[in-house]
Amino acid sequence: MEQPRVQEALESSILMGAPPAMVAAGMARRFGTTVTSEAVDAYREFLFDTSVLDTTELRWVMGRRRKLDSSLLAEDPRYTAATLPNS
C-alpha cells in the first residue's frame, strides 16, 4: 500500500472484523480506490494475518508500531480497533 491512510483504514476494518466486500466498498467510497474483496482477503492472509494473535498480543503489536511517538497512538484507528472488546 503506497497510500498510508488507505492502509490504515484497511487494517482498521480488518481488526474490527468487517467482511471483505464491505471493506472493499468502504475503500472505494472513502478514498476512490478500487479494491476487490479478493485483494482484501489476500492482504489479510499474507500481510496482516492477526488470526494467530490473541487480544493482548494484538494490542502490543499495534502499540509497538507507534512506539517512537506515543501521541500518534491515540490517533491511530488500528490501535483503537485492536483495543475494542471482543464480541
Looking from the CA of 6 toward its CB, the CA atoms found within 13 Å total 15
Per-residue pLDDT of the chain (87 residues; tens, 9 = 90+): 455 688 888 888 888 888 999 999 998 998 888 889 999 999 999 988 888 888 788 777 776 666 656 666 566 677 777 777 764
- What sign results for the dihedral spanned by CA atoms 25, 29, 34, 35? negative
Q: Where are the domains of the chain?
A: 4-82
The answer to whether the pTM exceeds 0.75 is no
pLDDT at 14: 87
